[in-house]
Each structure stands twice: as C-alpha cells, then as structure tokens.
Amino acid sequence: MISIRGLEKTFPSDRGLVRAVNKIDLDVAENEFVVLLGPSGCGKTTTLRCVAGLEQPDGGTIEIAGELVNSVESGDFVPPEGRNIGMVFQSYAVWPHLNVYQNVALPLTDGRLRLPKSQVQERVMESLRLVQLDNLDTRPVTDLSGGQQQRVALARAIVTKPMVLLMDEPLSNLDARLREEMRLELKKIATSAGVTSLYVTHDQAEALSLGDKICVMNEGEIQQVGTPEDVYSKPSEYFVAEFVGEMNFVRGKVTGPSQVDSPLGLRSLELPPSCQVGGDVTLAIRPQHLDLTQNPDQASQFPEGTILSKTYLGDAVLFEVDVSGVVLVVKLPGESKLIIGQRATVVLPADHWHIYP
Amino acid sequence: MLALVGIVAVFVWVSFQTGVIGTDDAEYSFENYLVIFGDPFVYEVLENTLIFALATTAVSLFIGLPIAWVTERTTIRPKELIYAMMTTGLLVPPIFIGMGWTFIAHQRIGLVNKLIKEIFGQESWVINIETPAGMGLIEGLTLAPLAFVLSVQVFRTMNPALEEAAQTAGMTFRRTLLRITLPLARPAILAALIYIFVIGLATFDIPAVIGLSSNIYVFSTFVFSEAFPPDGLPEYGIPAALGTAMILVAVVLTIWYVQMLRRSERYQVVTGKGYRAKQINSGRWVYACWAFICIYFFIGLLLPILLVAFMAFMPYITPPSIKALDLLTLINFQQMNWEYVFRGLKNTVILMAVVPPVILLFAFCCSWLVVRSRTRARYLLEFGAFLPHTVPRVVMSVGALLLALYVVQNYVPIYGTVWILVAVYVIVWLPFGTRALNSSMIQIHKELEEAAYTSGLTVARTIRRVMVPLLRPTMFSVWIWTGLLVYREMTVAVFLISQDNVTLPAIVWGRWTMGAPTVAAAITVLMLVAFLPLLVISWRFARRSRLTAEM
C-alpha cells in the first residue's frame, strides 16, 4: 500500500547539512499497522512527513496505493492535498474556529471529494460515532479535553475513508493514563476503519502494543523491521537492544569457539559467525531473565554480587547488583526479602542471551 | 517594496544634481552636500531638530512609561479604560493637538498666557511654545501613548518567575524593582526611546503647525519650505541631500533599535498561556496614579481639543470666557467652501476604503512567506518590511513626488490623483500590517495548516477556510487601525496634494497656514465628529492585543 524506496532528506542547520533520512526502504502492506520507532531526531517524523507530502525529499520514490506520488528522479510530486491520506498530528491541530462537526466535515466539503451537503451529514456522524463523540457534535472544539480533541482529529483524518492513515506521535501530548486508554482504542478504530496505518512514536511500549510491524530507526537509517515479538526478543542490532526494553550489557572477550570471558565469568554461548576468537563482544540480557538467590548449592557456577539498590514496582522488584565492577539490573516478579547491602548470587540463564560484536 | 526602493533611489539621485533636475542640464556633483554642510542655517536647523527630538523623547517617556508600569503591574482598575484613553491619544491627529496648543499657549493670543498676564501682570512670564523645546514638549504629549504602548508589552510579558526568584532569595520589593525588573526592561525601554527619537527627528505635523509661522525650522519643515517655497522655483536638490543624510542616521538608529528589540525579547515569556506578571496592590497610591493619568489626558488631549472646538464657533481667535460666549457664531461653517471640503471628504473616504484592504493583502502575503518559508528570502522580506520605518515620512513624500514627476509621469500619470496617495500610504503602513500579522501568524501552529493540506484542501482553500478565519480578529484590527491612521495622516498628504486629491487633514492644514485658524478649527470639529464612531469600533475590536505594540 505504501512503498518507499531510497528515501533521502537533508536539512540545512547551523552545523551544515544534516541527513535526516538516509536512503531508507520500507513497505507497508494493505491494512497493516506499521510503527516507526526511534529517539528524537532519528528521522521517523521526517519519513512520515515525506509520505504525507509535507516535506519534499531530496532523493528516492514514494508510492501510495500503487500511485507514484513522489519521485525525485522524474520530478513527480503530488502535493499533500492530492494524496489519498488522512493525518493525525501531535498537537491535535483541530481548527479552533470550527466546532466538532465542522472540523470533521471540512475535509469532505472542501477537500478532494467536494461532497454535497446531504452526504456529508451521514459520513460525519458515522465517523464521530466511531470515536464516540457523536453526542458532542455541536461543541466548540476548544471546549474539549486533550483526549477528546485528539478523537476529533482522528475522526477528521478517517472521514474521507483514506487509503492511508498517518499518525505523528498522536498520544504524546496526553497524560499517562489517558494515553494507555487511547492506545487500545486507537488500534480498535484503525482496525474497524480498515485503513493502512503508519504511526510515529518514540514510546516503545506504544510501539510494541500497537504495531503489526515495528520499524526501529536511528540516525536516519532503519535498524530493524519486524513484528513486535521479533524486535523485542531478537533485537538484531546493538541499538535496537538498547532502545527497546530494558537490557543489561556486559563487555567480554571471545576466548574460544562458543566461549566468552567476561566479568560474569567464563560462559559457553552460541556465537554469531562474525565473532572471532580474541575479538571483543558485548553480551546483552534482559533483567527479567536474571534471578537472584542466596542458596549456595545452586551458586557454584554463577557469579556473586552486592545489592546496591532495590526499587519496588508493585508487581515486581528491581535490583541493581554489583558483580565485579559491572552493575546488573535484575527484575524479580512479586515480592523479595533481599535487602540493600546483602550479597547474592546472580543466576544466569542458558539462553535469552544476545551477542553483539 | 520596489516602489520604496525606487523612491529612495530617486531621492539619492536627485541629491547629487544641480541645475534643472532630470534634464540634460543637470550636473552631477557633491555640490548640494557641500552647500548644506557649509550653511550655518542648516546647522541651526539640525540643532533645533536635535533639541526637539530630545524633548519629545523625554516628555513622552516620562509620561508613557510610568502609566505603562502602573497599568500592568499594579492592581489599578479598570485597565480597559486606561487602554482606551491611551489608544485614543494614539489616533487623534497630532495637527489638532498642535492647533489646540497654539490656542492655549500662543504668546499673544494663548489662553494660558493671557491668564498669566492678567494675574501676575508680568509680560516676561509667558510660556513660549514656539521654540524647539516647546514644540518638543507638545510632540512629547502626543507621543506619550506610543511610549505607553511600546513599554506596556514589556511589563506584561516579563517572566514572573524571574521576579519571584528574587523575592524568594530575600530581596525586598524595592530592590527587586531596581535590581531585577528595571534591568530586565532596560533593552525594551531603550528600544522605545530610540524608536521615539527617530520619530522625533523626522516628524512634521507639530513643528509645521506651530513653528512655521514663527520661522522655527526643524529638519522636516525645512525640507518642506525648500520643496515648496512661497516664491520661486522649488529646490529639490538640497532637501534631497539633507534627506539622504537623514536616512543614513535613521538606518543606523534603526539597526540599533532592532538589536535592542531582539535583546528585550529574550526576557519575554513567549507562551500564549494566561501567564500574567504578579500585580502589586496599589492601595491608596491608586488615587495618585489616576490623578497622573487624568492630568495627562486633560492637558495632552482634552483641553487642546476643547479649545479647537470652541474656536470653531468664534469669528476670530478669542480666549474662552463668559464674555466670549456672546460671540458664538456659525459663520465658520456657513462660509466654508463646502464643495472643497466634500472633495476632501471624498478623497479621504476613498483612501480609507482602498488603503486598508491593499495593505492587508500585501501584509498577508509577506507574513505568510516570512513565517512559513525556510528560505533566506524571508530575511530579505522581513528587512524590507521594516525599511519604511527608517525613511522619514517627509523624505518618503518628497521622494514619491520626485518619482512621480520625473520618472513615472510619462508612463502612468499618477501625480495629482488620489492614487499617488494610496501608493505612498500603503508603503508607509505596510510594516505595521506585516508585523501585526507576523506575530499573530507565528502563534498559529503550523500543524493547523498542514492538517488542512492532508485533509485534501488546496492552498487557496486552506487560506480561505483556515488561515483567514483564524487571523480574522487581527486582520480586522489592522483594517480599522490603518483606516484610522489614514484618516489622521497629514504629512504625506501635504506634500502630495494638488487641487484634485486634497484630503481633509490637508484642508485643515491649508486653512491654518492661510491664516484662517477658526475655519481650520471648524473643519477639525467635523472631522472629530466623524472620527468618534470609528474610534468606538476600534475600542471594541482592538482587544488589548499586541497589535498596538506593532505601531
């Protein structure tokens, strides 16, 4: 549905040209929900704005629903108003001089479709029902709460039944609780509207729960594309491991085929083919895959450390443990009797390790 | 923009010519410059101008600044009334005030001087306003509202946290004021000072109304008398040379002004949220404050206008007294050349109808490009829109006159029509419109516009359905304000009028200089009556917005 090839965009800045997007390729299939995830300045918003036509790229091509909307090489450029899209903005961007109904109706009456009044009413109310605002249609938008304003923006974006729905951090201006509520609802609405979605966020929890597919970006390049499960459990790059979810990193040295020496001791691990004996590697493991114990029987093969801190999270406890100079974060479900200053043995699992050269 | 460059270019071109300008006889040399800088009279004019401008600046800031501080930073109420009083002062044509003050303090016939002579019997105690300092005092009175408007913004938008931090650090109110508030406001106050000083250097109305008859010349009236001598051929070369020098001075001062303005903006709270600086309880001081404001309003505005109104019904200039009431007459209105006045009215109405929309159109395009575009062209536009500030209006008028007479006349016979006034008025007030729209447009989130594009609205429809409705309050205010400014403008009109394109203020000016002050007063009264409804509209719509600060 969306096909991006070799997209490039540079911006002038005080320090010379900055490459915001560096030759990326991305495909979004019909009715798929793809999330662009990355830290600020990674190029995700620029990519989205190029798809919307709000930015003109410096290189590459963009196709929407099989139609070439942008090709730098051939000079084709369809302006945003000519593209079959709907867009939701971070600032909601609902028009403050119009009421709820008028906000949603304007794309129908003045946009691509130029529908007659009779058809507008039905489509607007249908769209408002979808976001559960059909009882507030005559209110001035400025009277609504942030969450409601964002629903208006969403209704406005889908009222034209676009092929593609673009969302630029739509939830980041909402407070934490509302954000979680809206997240669930957003997914439902996008599914029931049957629309292909491209969604930009820097919030990994949002990305993991919303996306059919996640595309992790950093410094203008795509690091990994995959299902949420893939990205979380098999981060292909060091950056992805660091950015998505909590992760412990330990520097080590390859001492033999499938053997690594590190502050955690000598460990047998399956190494990727790029690692050679004598080379440096980084071991990565998630806090919930580690365990702490004070039972010395089990402890023989595992390193021992000192508990530096203990953070109670409600459903889990987070420990920081110093193991020969390396601080490991360990997440234990439920309660724990261990306290700060105690010595404890860190139980290392056999699998769940990620290794980066 | 091009027209402005043309005007300045012609001006500079003429300044290097002697002989018959614009013909083959013209010779190019520095002679005009040598003449002006060798002439002791020019030095006297410059000295007068300097004294006048300094007096203007001092008086206007002395009045405007305290009122601004009191209004924004104390609990004095109702603030709307103060704003209304001050904006009225901004809109009343200065020529009226000048006339009124002539009636008040003319050496022989002035009301106050008559009283002084009667009560004290001392001839030497009379006030003489026909001096550079005296005229500066009156100009200062008319510009005090401008000083108010320029500085009220600073006190309103100053970050309250800065003062609160000082107080939590244990500083007293007085120390906070001296060590924090005033230093923070200093760049802005300095900017206002430079701004008013530049106006003082170039202003025409008051020096013309008061000073010309007693041969006290400042820069602008000197240019006028050279360009329109009562006898003989106009001499454009010398005023052009002097004007060129003046533009240079003004450019330097304006650059300084812009720098000060930038510096002052650093201390401002930019968020549009109802962020208000803390207000000090004025307590009993409120009476003193109101007394100050009312005294200013009375002597700066009410008294001169009352006297003008009184004179309109007198057969000749008479200080008001019970006895004078017997003289009340309508003769000024009966003997008025109504056909001429109606022609002036018609032209004024045309100007008020045409100039504001044209300014809005240009200003909208300029602002949109400036605010939305990332290109370097925006700096050029921004600077260009600011440029008219640096060119004194007298210079602009003479330049337009020269341009129309010597360059454009063969292609577009614009001289002598109302359209030359339209053109110059648009150039003069375009910066006002642009800056007002700029600051409003910056506040409109870019995504509101982008949301329209992604909803499928074309650029034209986005402007019509989203941008214009959002900017409507500002555009409306700009419309009314430029209309009122056009209504009161005398300088440009006086330089560019002929029989056909005369405007009402120019008629007032004409009657005044031709020795018919009571008739001038009568026309003034008519103008004021027509002005009132407009003023009321402007009160209703000029929210206490930034707009007035864009003057």
Record: contact B450-A93, CB cut-off 8 A: yes
Give the confidence band of B266 by pLDDT, cuts at 50, 70, 90. Answer: low
Record: contact A81-B453, CB cut-off 8 A: yes
Give the confidence band of B11 by pLDDT, cuts at 50, 70, 90. Answer: low
CATH code, domain carrying B113: 1.10.3720.10
Q: Tell me the per-residue pLDDT of A299-338, one tens digit each, with 9 for 90 and over.
A: 567 888 999 999 998 889 999 999 988 999 999 998 888 8
- pLDDT tops 70 at residue A23: yes
- pLDDT tops 60 at residue B121: yes
Q: Which 472-491 residues of chain B touch chain A by CB within 8 A?
A: 472
Tokens of A210: 């919303």
Record: contact A86-B457, CB cut-off 8 A: no
More confident residue, B395 or A148: A148
Q: Mean of the pLDDT values across residues A171-190?
A: 86
Give the confidence band of B284 by pLDDT, cuts at 50, 70, 90. Answer: confident
- Whether the CB-CB separation of A307 and A341 falls below 8 Å is answered with yes
Task: Report the b/e string of A87-97 with b at 16+ CB within 10 A.
Answer: bbbbbbbbbbb
Q: List the one residue out of B175, B174, B191 whose CA is nearest residue B65.
A: B191
Residues present in chain B in total: 551
Chain A residues near residue B472 by CB distance under 8 angstroms: 97
- What residue of A is the nearest CA neighbor of B470? A97
Selected for mutation to probe chain A from B454, B462, B476 (highest A CB count within 10 Å) is B454
- Whether the CB-CB separation of B359 and B423 falls below 8 Å is answered with no
ipTM of the complex, rounded to two decimals: 0.81
Give the confidence band of A52 by pLDDT, cuts at 50, 70, 90. Answer: very high
**CA atoms of B447 and B174, how far apart (whole Å):** 45
Q: Mean of the pLDDT values across residues A188-214?
A: 91
pLDDT computed for residue B13 by the predictor: 67
Give the confidence band of B272 by pLDDT, cuts at 50, 70, 90. Answer: very low
Instruction: For residue B483, give the 3-state DSSP assignment.
Output: helix
3-state SS of A259-293?
Answer: EEEECCEEEECCCCCCCCCCCEEEEEECHHHCEEE
Q: List the one residue out of B172, B182, B238 whose CA is nearest residue B69.
A: B182
Min Cα distance B436 → chain A (Å) is: 20
- What residue of A is the nearest CA neighbor of B375? A12
Q: Mean of the pLDDT values across residues B294-312?
A: 89
Q: Mean of the pLDDT values across residues B268-286?
A: 61
Give the confidence band of B280 by pLDDT, cuts at 50, 70, 90. Answer: confident
pLDDT computed for residue B479 by the predictor: 87
More confident residue, B87 or B461: B461
Min Cα distance B450 → chain A (Å) is: 7
- Adjacent-strand bridge partners of A62: A4, A70
- Fold classified for A246-356: OB fold (Dihydrolipoamide Acetyltransferase, E2P) (2.40.50)
- pLDDT tops 70 at residue B379: no
* Residue A306 host element (H or E): strand A304-312
Q: What is the mean pLDDT of chain A?
A: 89
Provide, rounded to the nearest whole percent, the portion of chain A with pLDDT above 90: 54
**Dihedral of CA B2/B4/B10/B16: which sign?**
negative
pLDDT computed for residue B244 by the predictor: 80
Tokens of B36: 């002006």
- pLDDT tops 50 at residue B548: no
Number of independent structural domains in chain B: 1
pLDDT computed for residue A168 by the predictor: 93
Distance between alpha carbon B48 and the CA centroid of its chain, in Å? 20
Tokens of B82: 């103060």
More confident residue, B441 or B48: B48
Q: Which of A288-292, B126-130, B329-333 has the least mean pLDDT?
A: B126-130
* Residue A69 host element (H or E): strand A67-71
Distance between alpha carbon B412 and the CA centroid of its chain, in Å? 30
Number of other residues whose CB lies within 10 A of the CB of residue A72: 17
Record: contact A93-B453, CB cut-off 8 A: no
Q: Which of A24-38, A136-150, A318-332, B435-449 has the least mean pLDDT?
A: B435-449
Record: contact A113-B456, CB cut-off 8 A: yes
Q: Mean of the pLDDT values across residues A64-72?
A: 91
pLDDT computed for residue A154 by the predictor: 92
- pLDDT tops 90 at residue B53: yes
In chain A, where the domains are located = 2-242, 246-356
Chain A residues near residue B465 by CB distance under 8 angstroms: 106, 110
Instruction: For residue B282, give the 3-state DSSP assignment.
Output: coil
Chain B residues near residue A110 by CB distance under 8 angstroms: 455-457, 461, 465
- Name the DSSP class of B406: I
State the pTM of this model. Answer: 0.77
Q: Mean of the pLDDT values across residues A285-289?
A: 93
pLDDT computed for residue B544 by the predictor: 43
Q: Tell me the per-residue pLDDT of A234-252, one tens digit each, with 9 for 90 and over.
A: 999 999 999 998 999 999 8
Interchain contact B465–A (C-beta under 8 A): yes
CB-count burial class (<10 Å; 0-12, 13-18, 19+) for B38:
exposed
Chain A residues near residue B453 by CB distance under 8 angstroms: 52-54, 79-81
Of the candidates B453, B458, B466, the beta carbon closest to that of A95 is on B466
Give the confidence band of B274 by pLDDT, cuts at 50, 70, 90. Answer: very low
Provide, rounded to the nearest whole percent, the portion of chain B with pLDDT above 90: 11
| Residue B509 domain boundaries | 2-550
Interchain contact B444–A (C-beta under 8 A): no
Interchain contact B248–A (C-beta under 8 A): no
Distances (CA, A) of B144 to B65, B85, B141, B151, B482: 8, 11, 5, 11, 20
Record: contact A93-B451, CB cut-off 8 A: yes
Record: contact A80-B450, CB cut-off 8 A: yes
**C-alpha triplet B31, B37, B43: angle, nearest 5°:** 150
- What residue of A is the nearest CA neighbor of B456? A81
* Binding-site residues on chain A for chain B (CB distance < 8 A): 52-54, 79-83, 85-87, 89-91, 93-97, 106-107, 110-113, 153, 156-157, 160, 166
For A2-242, CATH number? Answer: 3.40.50.300
Record: contact A89-B461, CB cut-off 8 A: no
Record: contact B455-A106, CB cut-off 8 A: yes
Min Cα distance A87 → chain B (Å) is: 6
Interchain contact B455–A (C-beta under 8 A): yes
How many inter-chain contacts (A to B, CB under 8 Å) are there?
Answer: 76
Of the candidates B456, B466, B472, the beta carbon closest to that of A81 is on B456
Interchain contact B470–A (C-beta under 8 A): yes
pLDDT computed for residue A298 by the predictor: 57
Record: contact A107-B466, CB cut-off 8 A: no
